[in-house]
Chain A
Amino acid sequence: MWPFDAAGGPGLSIESLWLALYLLTFALHAVFVSYVAAGAAYAGVAAIRHSASPIAARTRDWLPFMLGAGITAGVGPLLFLQLLYQRRFYTANLLMGPRWGAVVPALIVGFYALYLAKAGERWRRIALAAGTACFGFVAWSWTELHQLMADDPAWRAMYGAGERFHLELAVVPRLALWLGAMPVLFATVAAWSATPAERRRLAYLALAGLGLAGAAAAVLIAGHGFESAHGWGPVTVLAAAVALAGWVVTARRPDGAGLTVTTAATAAALVAGAVVREVPRLAMIERDRATAVDAGGLAVFVVTLGIGIAAIAWVVRTVRGASR
């Protein structure tokens, strides 16, 4: 299925496998980091308003774990990104230099801020504001890096001028798209442990996020045209529309089946959207690096992945069983 068979030649290429794993791990990573970024902002607003929101309380409780999970899940796409676009990724890293390196200290500050916010009320507002700012900075940095990777004609001048920022207008709608998607993903995860009244509130948040994401997507489409991507584009739109309808239903009947529908649709939109996001870069995939193509160890990875899924499933089952 396109784009996984787009490498040319008979059968699936190893690049197709890297691409599939990149997209899946990226989607998983996006769920966790969206929870963190949007959740920190949500809890921060609740703290500023002195609201005793149970959603905010639960979110504060989960945020440190979600950040840990997001970073761990992020190592997967980071690995496959280096296989697919090695020279572009490294060059963009180096061009942004210390400004890119600031991503890690920002995450460390954000991590401790989340614990501070969880620990007590005294520093909560400042901690959550600082955490949200850190995660916003990281989201912006990745968006900027994504754009810079593709803009090789600009590299030489950027390096010569000693510039560390790739400030171009295209970063804005792309970042806005993510800033819209993040509350949707946060609401989707948070709603499963929410009461009906809380679900209604989360539905409104998700609908606002979908509105922002839709507006940003419209700007991107106006600039670049609608990307059908062999059907993945329409699937993304359709899935987003179903998610929207699901949230509308959830807002009206929070204890109905709307959440199940919207969760499935959001997952589909996320994966299909990840494919569409990748389409402009497919021609940039660096093929035929013999060392990478011929590298062994795939069987070990597959077996370990099976063990890992089983182990994590056991942990989740054990913990859920005890919690009941």
Chain B
Amino acid sequence: MPQRDVWERSPVRVFERAIAGGLGRGQIGVALSRAGVGKTAFLIGLALDALLHGRKVLHISTQESVEAVRRFYDQLFNALADDLQLEDRAQKLLELERNRHILAYNRKSFSLEKLEQSVGFLRQAAHFEPSFVIMDGTPRFEQTEEWEMQGVQRLAREWDAEVWTSSLVHREGQQCDGRGIPLEVTRFEAYVSVVVLLDSQADHVRVRILKDHDRRDVADLRLELDPSTLLLRWR
């Protein structure tokens, strides 16, 4: 099967089309879910798609080690490769790893300055210019302040990259706005372009768009996470 076809049929395309062609460079998206539902898997799924398009991906984690994040990618890549019946798997994985960098921090020692500095080294020494960035575990919306969100926005624009972050929703006791977005996130409405909720149902995880740039009515997606592979799939 010609490669282009494969990408065209990818559920990620559907997702992107639903949010006006994608998050957009220089903009910030948030994936919401309860603990353990699959925020990281969802984001890595998007990252893998970007990587298979030859884009450069920077994955920042304040919770997991480099090794653990890498294993996560390997796992999802293998599932995806099985799904797509990819040829030249080893070669593809090699290319993909060349275009991906994982940055791990202790939550305590993380700061935007350090991040900026590390990315500076990456651009200089490795000519690594990321266009798709995952910030997993940071900023923490419950605690963050305006200046930090401003900082993330500035970096997104400077790098000219799509930046995806994540935030937890709680089972109860959390206040949300009319769209179902927790107020911790709504506070920073001005900085966030897209909000996606991974809604865990009895036997699957439904992907719902809660905010799509400035559009009034957001698309109702027929996508979900496959519970066994954690990949995005049709409902």
Query: Are A and B associated in one complex?
Result: no
Residues on A facing B (Cβ under 8 Å): none
Interface residues of B (CB under 8 A from A): none
